[in-house]
């Protein structure tokens, strides 16, 4: 039978918006020694806003670059899609309906068919996947914007780069405090695992005080990073919003989904779901687990 302390601990968590999906997860949480954090949508608000539209092909206007990007993203659920659609909307660019076809490319971007044209929106590896020859102008503009801590996305129309747009996301106000409290509760290693650009990731890492940062990861690289921490002997919690974190969340000893920001899939597959969009619930969950287990021994 399940020890009374565990039942009580799960009950206390639930009352506090910490949904623990079983007694074994509460016991494992007491041993968490490493925490891996997704960046976009987890450490940041996940509500980035448009900062730049750079035209790289003089045959196209600023409105066209933003317009094609927004139309291509109209069928996308990625957090980077919304600021492009909202900005296009605010600038009065008509976006009539969904693309004929949308294909998300995890960790890279999206490829869509819009009015019979092939539009790719994403990072430089996506352009390479599209068979587009290295574009010096695009690479330089991407590097410049990333150096400013923004997230750049190149736009290709029928295999030609026409421009780069960039968005910037705000750190959650409680991100640094959460990491400090995890360390205070004895978590030895806090790492950021992100698909985003190295420079953007470093800027965020420096600001919040994590021990390690791994950038430009594909979903399977996040999984490998979790396995590597486990191989070092760590009990690993992974916190993600589910957009590209599903394999890592499943592999971690404890998969944690964030409430309001998380996708339905993440909440369902997580071992612990934090029902409020409050990062401090994570150190609170670790504290609850440690106290509960202590009472049992
Ligand atoms: P994170 O791991 O930080 O949550 P993702 O793996 O979801 O980030 O995305 C990694 C990178 O891939 C983004 O920074 C962006 O360059 C590109 N990308 C992914 N999805 C999209 C999209 N729908 N539109 C544009 N770019 C995208
Ligand atoms: Mg994410």
The phi-psi region of residue 296 (left if phi > 0; otherwise alpha if psi is between -120 and 50; otherwise beta) is: alpha
Per-residue pLDDT, 41: 81
CA of 212 to the centre of ligand 1 (A): 20
Phi, psi of 57, deg, nearest 5: -125, 110
Residue 205 has pLDDT above 60, yes or no: yes
CA of 92 to the centre of ligand 2 (A): 29
CB 2 within 8 A of CB 10: no
Residues having CB within 6 Å of any atom of ligand 1: 38-41, 73, 76, 78, 80-81, 107-110, 121-123, 151, 153, 194-196, 243-244
Pocket test for ligand 1, best of 71, 84, 109, 218 (most atoms within 8 A of CB): 109
Q: Whose CA is nearest to atom 12 of ligand 1?
A: 108
The complex scores an ipTM of: 0.92
Per-residue pLDDT, 262: 53
CA of 40 to the centre of ligand 2 (A): 4
Residue 146 has pLDDT above 80, yes or no: yes
Rounded (to 5) percent helix, strand, coil in the chain: 40, 25, 35
Per-residue pLDDT, 225: 98
**Topology, domain 4-45+170-296:** Rossmann fold (3.40.50)
Per-residue pLDDT, 275: 83
Per-residue pLDDT, 265: 66
Residue 66 has pLDDT above 70, yes or no: yes
DSSP H helices in the chain: 4-15, 23-29, 62-73, 81-90, 124-129, 136-147, 175-184, 198-208, 219-231, 246-251, 264-269, 281-296
Q: Which helix (H) or strand (E) covers residue 118, if one does?
A: strand 117-122
> Which numbered ligand comes closest to the C-alpha of 77?
1
Q: How confident is the model over 253-291, as pLDDT tens digits?
A: 999 998 755 566 677 778 999 987 789 999 999 999 999
CB 249 within 8 A of CB 240: yes
Q: How confident is the model over 5-58, as pLDDT tens digits?
A: 999 999 999 999 999 999 999 999 999 999 999 988 889 887 789 999 999 999
When pLDDT is averaged across residues 64-77 and rounded to a whole number, the result is 96
Residue 96 has pLDDT above 90, yes or no: no
Per-residue pLDDT, 256: 95
When pLDDT is averaged across residues 119-132 and rounded to a whole number, the result is 97
Question: Would you kindly state where each structural domain of the chain is located, as residue ranges?
Answer: 4-45+170-296, 49-168
Q: How confident is the model over 173-183, as pLDDT tens digits?
A: 999 999 999 99
pLDDT cut 90: percent of the chain above it: 76
> Which numbered ligand comes closest to the C-alpha of 246?
2
Per-residue pLDDT, 64: 97
Phi, psi of 38, deg, nearest 5: -70, 155
| pTM given for the model | 0.75
State the chain's mean pLDDT as an integer.
92
CA of 278 to the centre of ligand 2 (A): 16
Per-residue pLDDT, 2: 78
Could you give the CA distance from residue 191 to residue 212 in angstroms, rounded to a whole number? 5
Q: Whose CA is nearest to atom 18 of ligand 1?
A: 109
- Is 38 considered catalytic here? yes
Per-residue pLDDT, 244: 77
Per-residue pLDDT, 258: 82
Could you give the CA distance from residue 175 to residue 180 in angstroms, rounded to a whole number? 9
Q: How confident is the model over 44-63, as pLDDT tens digits?
A: 887 789 999 999 999 999 99
Both tokens of residue 291?
Answer: 């106290």
**Model confidence band, residue 3 (pLDDT cutoffs 50, 70, 90):** confident
DSSP classification of residue 133: P
For 52-70, letters b (16+ CB in 10 Å) and e give bbbbbbeebeeebbbbbbb
49-168 homologous superfamily:
Calcium-transporting ATPase, cytoplasmic domain N (3.40.1110.10)
When pLDDT is averaged across residues 143-169 and rounded to a whole number, the result is 93
Residue 71 has pLDDT above 90, yes or no: yes
Residue 81 has pLDDT above 80, yes or no: yes
């Amino acid at each position: 039978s399940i020890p009374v302390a565990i039942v009580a601990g799960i009950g206390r968590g639930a009352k506090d918006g910490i949904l623990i999906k079983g007694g074994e997860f509460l016991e494992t949480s007491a041993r968490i020694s490493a925490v891996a954090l997704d960046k976009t949508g987890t450490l940041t608000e996940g509500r980035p806003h448009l900062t730049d539209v750079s035209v790289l092909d003089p045959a196209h206007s600023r409105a066209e670059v933003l317009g094609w990007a927004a139309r291509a993203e109209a069928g996308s659920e990625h957090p980077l899609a919304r600021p492009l659609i909202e900005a296009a909307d605010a600038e009065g660019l008509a976006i009539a309906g969904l693309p004929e076809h949308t294909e998300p490319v995890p960790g890279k971007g999206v490829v869509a068919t819009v009015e019979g044209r092939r539009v790719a929106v994403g990072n430089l590896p996506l352009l390479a996947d599209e068979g587009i020859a290295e574009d010096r102008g695009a690479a330089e503009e991407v590097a410049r914007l990333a150096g400013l801590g923004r997230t750049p996305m190149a736009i290709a129309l029928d295999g030609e780069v026409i421009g780069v747009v960039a968005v910037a996301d705000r750190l959650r106000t409680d991100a640094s405090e959460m990491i400090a409290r995890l360390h205070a509760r004895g978590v030895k290693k806090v790492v950021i695992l992100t698909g985003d650009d190295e420079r953007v990731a470093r800027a965020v890492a420096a600001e919040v005080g994590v021990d390690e940062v791994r950038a430009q990861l594909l979903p399977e690289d996040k999984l490998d990073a979790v396995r590597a921490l486990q191989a070092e002997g760590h009990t690993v919690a992974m916190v993600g919003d589910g957009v590209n974190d599903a394999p890592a969340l499943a592999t971690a000893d404890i998969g944690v989904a964030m409430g309001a920001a998380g996708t339905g899939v993440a909440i369902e597959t997580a071992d612990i779901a934090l029902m409020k969009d409050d990062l401090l619930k994570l150190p609170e969950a670790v504290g609850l687990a440690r106290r509960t287990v202590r009472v049992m021994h």
